[in-house]
Amino acid sequence: MSQLLLAIESSCDETAAAVLKDGRTVLSNVISSQIPIHERYGGVVPEIASRNHVLNLPGVIDKALSDAGCTFRDLCAIAVTYGPGLVGALLTGVSAAKAIASARNLPLIGVNHIHGHIAANYIAHPDLEPPFVCLVASGGHSHIVYVKDYTEFEILGRTRDDAAGEAFDKIARVLGLGYPGGPKLEKLAEEGNSEAISFPRVTFGDGCYDFSFSGVKTAVINYIHRQEQRGEAICKADLAASFQRAVVEALTEHTIAAAKEKGCSVITLAGGVSANGALRRSFDAATQKEGYTLYYPPLVLCTDNAAMIGCAGYYLYEKEIFADSTLNAVPNLKL
Ligand code: KG4
Ligand code: ZN
C-alpha cells in the first residue's frame, strides 16, 4: 500500500505544504509566497513573516490535502522543517505539525531544511541515489555536501561569511533592483559583459573548499564608490554580469575540486541560487569537460517548497527517525 506523507515548510517567507506518495512522487505542492509583502521593506521582516505563516498555514495545508485527493486519515506521517531558519517562522510550522500529529496520532518527523534542498533532486531524478556531491547554495547557506546516504552527510566546504544568495540579494539592493535580488540581478546580467570588471576570488589553499563572498561584495561596493567619486558612469549590467561570474566561478570550481578529491562522479545542485541560469551553464560545461554526471532540480524545487521536505522526511520515516512532542525550532541547526 502506498505511503502518503504531509510536509510543512515555513523557515523563511514561503508558507508551503505538500503531500508525497512513497517519498518521491509529488501529489501536491502548495506554496504561498510572501514576496509581495516583504518587497516594500527590501528584505524579509521576521515578525511579519511569522504572522503571515500563522494566517496562511491552515489554508495551505487544506489545499495540499485536497489537491492530493486525500484527507488527514490517509496519511502515514507528518514532516516539518525545524531548522535552520527564522525562529518565529519555523515555530509556526513546527506547532502546526505537532498539533496535527497529536490530534491524528501520526508519527512526527523533524527535517533539516538543507537536507530538504538536497532531497529536491530525488524528486526530479528518480534514478538518483547516494553517494554524490551536492552544492547547496541559497539565501542562508552555501555548502558543498558529500551525501553518503539518504540521511548521512559530510560537509566538504562552506561559506565563511555571506551565503551566495545573500551576496546576490545585497548587490541587487545596492543596484536598486529590489527584493528578492537573485532573479533580478540574473536578468540584468544577461544584458551585460561578464568580462568587463575583474572581481577578486578568495581561496583558502589546497584541499579547502570553503567560500567567502563578502570580499567580492565589498569590491563591488568599492567599485561603485570609486566610479561615483571620479564622476564616471557605471554600467549596471556589466557590473551585475561580472559579479555573477565571480560567484558562479567560485561555486563551480570549488565543487568540482571537492568531487574530484572525493572520487565522486555525480554532482547535484540545490537551493535558490541553483535556479540561476549562468550557474547551471557553468556546471553543465565543467561537468561535461571533466566527465561528471550533473543533476539539478526544476526551478520550482530549487527555491523553498514543502515537497523537498516531504522527500527528505520520507527517508527519515523509513529509518523510523521520529521526533516527539518536544520538537522545537532550531534556527542555527547544522546538517
Ligand atoms: O532556497 P531559497 O528559496 O531560500 C533559502 O533557503 O535561503 O533561496 C533563496 C535565495 C535568495 O537569496 C535568492 O536571491 C536566491 O536564492 N535566488 C537566486 C536566483 N533565484 C533565487 N540567486 C541567483 N539567481 C537566481 N535566479
Ligand atoms: Zn531554502
Q: 77-115 pLDDT, tens per residue?
A: 999 999 999 999 999 999 999 999 999 999 999 999 999
Ligand 1 neighbours by CB, cut-off 6 Å = 12, 138-140, 165-166, 168-169, 180-183, 186, 271-273, 275-276, 303-304
> And the C-alpha cell for 104?
491524528
Does 211 fall in a domain?
yes
Give 2 or 154, the one with higher predicted confidence.
154
Are 70 and 145 within one domain?
no
If you take atom 10 of ligand 1, which residue's CA is the nearest one?
A: 139
User: Can you give the residue range of the structural domain that contains 160?
Assistant: 130-298
pLDDT tier for residue 1 given thresholds of 50, 70 and 90: confident
Nearest ligand, measured from the Cα of 164? 1
Nearest ligand, measured from the Cα of 14? 1
Are 218 and 111 within one domain?
no
pLDDT tier for residue 133 given thresholds of 50, 70 and 90: very high
Which whole number is the average pLDDT over 12-24?
A: 97
Whole-number Å distance between alpha carbons of 226 and 215: 16
Position 47 scores a pLDDT of: 94
User: How far is the centre of ligand 1, averaged over its atoms, from the C-alpha of 66 (Å)?
Assistant: 29
Return the half-sphere exposure (C-beta side, CA atoms, 13 A cut-off) of residue 148: 7
Does 260 fall in a domain?
yes
For residue 58, whether the previous peptide bond is cis, meaning omega lies within 30 degrees of 0, is no
Does 333 fall in a domain?
no
For the chain, give the number of residues: 335
Q: Which residues fall within 8 angstroms of residue 326, CB to CB, at 6 or more apart?
A: none
If you take atom 7 of ligand 1, which residue's CA is the nearest one?
A: 139
Does 329 fall in a domain?
no
Contact predicate 199/243, CB 8 Å:
yes
Does 270 fall in a domain?
yes
Q: Where are the beta strands (DSSP E) in the chain?
A: 4-9, 14-21, 25-33, 75-83, 108-112, 132-137, 142-149, 152-158, 266-270, 293-295
Contact predicate 247/240, CB 8 Å:
no
Q: Which atom of ligand 1 is nearest to the CA of 140?
A: 7
Which amino acid is located at 114 in the chain? I
Contact predicate 186/277, CB 8 Å:
yes
Look up the pTM and report it. 0.96
User: How far is the centre of ligand 2, averaged over its atoms, from the C-alpha of 119 (Å)?
Assistant: 12
For cell 526530479, the residue is: 124
Are 200 and 73 within one domain?
no
Does position 201 have pLDDT exceeding 90, yes or no?
A: no
- Find how far residue 97's CA is from the centre of its chain: 21
Are 289 and 142 within one domain?
yes
- Cross-strand bridge partners of residue 7: 18, 79
Does position 179 have pLDDT exceeding 90, yes or no?
A: no
Does 124 fall in a domain?
no
Which whole number is the average pLDDT over 313-333?
A: 97
Are 94 and 140 within one domain?
no
Does position 196 have pLDDT exceeding 90, yes or no?
A: yes
Are 112 and 35 within one domain?
yes
If you take atom 22 of ligand 1, which residue's CA is the nearest one?
A: 182
The CATH code of the domain that includes 262 is 3.30.420.40
User: How far is the centre of ligand 2, averaged over its atoms, from the C-alpha of 303 (Å)?
Assistant: 6
Nearest ligand, measured from the Cα of 115? 2
Are 253 and 270 within one domain?
yes
For cell 566610479, the residue is: 227
User: How far is the centre of ligand 2, averaged over its atoms, from the C-alpha of 21 (Å)?
Assistant: 22
